[in-house]
Structure 1
């Protein structure tokens, strides 16, 4: 099986999760839950990032072909995967912990937003994506709940 490309992952997420829209911004493609486009953007739940930004360089996305999938999962699933969320980093810094944010196909806390229970993986294989499916499902469900609160 050939490992999925960023475009294939985005297509799968858009097809799998009803009511989602993709927005190109901040050097990444962001997925928002926004059925009916009731909010200006919607509620953010996953991204594909393909280049480093001024405040997010820990993954070294400047390497050819390297991309990062990110998802804002539930606190419970984050804790199950990595233990307590790390402390919020200073601007331009990464969260502190035992993780190698440059290692391919290895789930980690998001290098900047791990403190908010976001997870990340560089160049995931199909098997890794399947392993992360519950965490991505939880990110979507969290966005659906937040959207409901913001639009009611």
Structure 2
């Protein structure tokens, strides 16, 4: 999968806001060129929720072991829920595991920084993880949409 294929897949889902920060939007320079996906049917980036998935194209501070500074390297990060996390890692999110190389490609792993929060990651998804990455992105979308709808129902007095 390419970055453009992932963006097209997720952006086509109903209510998704795709944000790709750049130099003219006031966002931090470290985020420029990365992509963030929110469930935001009103088209406004939420200020109180995290994206449900991201694509990062470079190392962030504390995440140098992912080696995203390699040519054409990128990582898809997905908040696909505790059940998916356990299915793919064999452990609960809060349990630590330092035995996985975060730079491994085409493999579903616990996110090297946000794994404890239940995030999964795939560096350069390809043949082995194409279908799984798509499924995880859809799962994360479904969870984000359900959270949004629960919150909207709570604020409308339902």
Counterpart in the other structure of 2:42: 36
TM-score if structure 2 supplies the norm length? 0.79
What residue is the counterpart of 1:50 in the other structure?
57
For residue 14 of structure 2, give the secondary structure of its aligned residue in structure 1.
Answer: coil
Displacement of 1:84: 2.0
Compared CA separation, residues 65 and 141, structure 1 to 2 (3 A): same
CA distance in 2 between partners of 1:96 and 1:104 (Å): 18
Gaps of 5+ in 1: 89-94
1:1-152 aligned within 5 A: 4-15=1-12, 17-25=13-21, 27=31, 28-37=34-43, 40=46, 44-87=51-94, 96-152=97-153
Structure 1 residues 87 and 58: alpha-carbon distance in aligned structure 2, compared to 1, 3 A threshold: farther
Root-mean-square deviation (CA), in Å? 2.1
Specify the SS of the correspondent of 2:17: strand
**TM-score (ref. length: structure 1):** 0.81
Q: Following TM superposition, where does structure 1 have runs of at least 4 consecutive aligned residues deviating by more than 4 angstroms?
A: none
Q: Which runs of 5+ in 2 are unaligned?
A: 22-29, 154-158
**Is the radius of gyration larger for structure 1 or structure 2?**
2
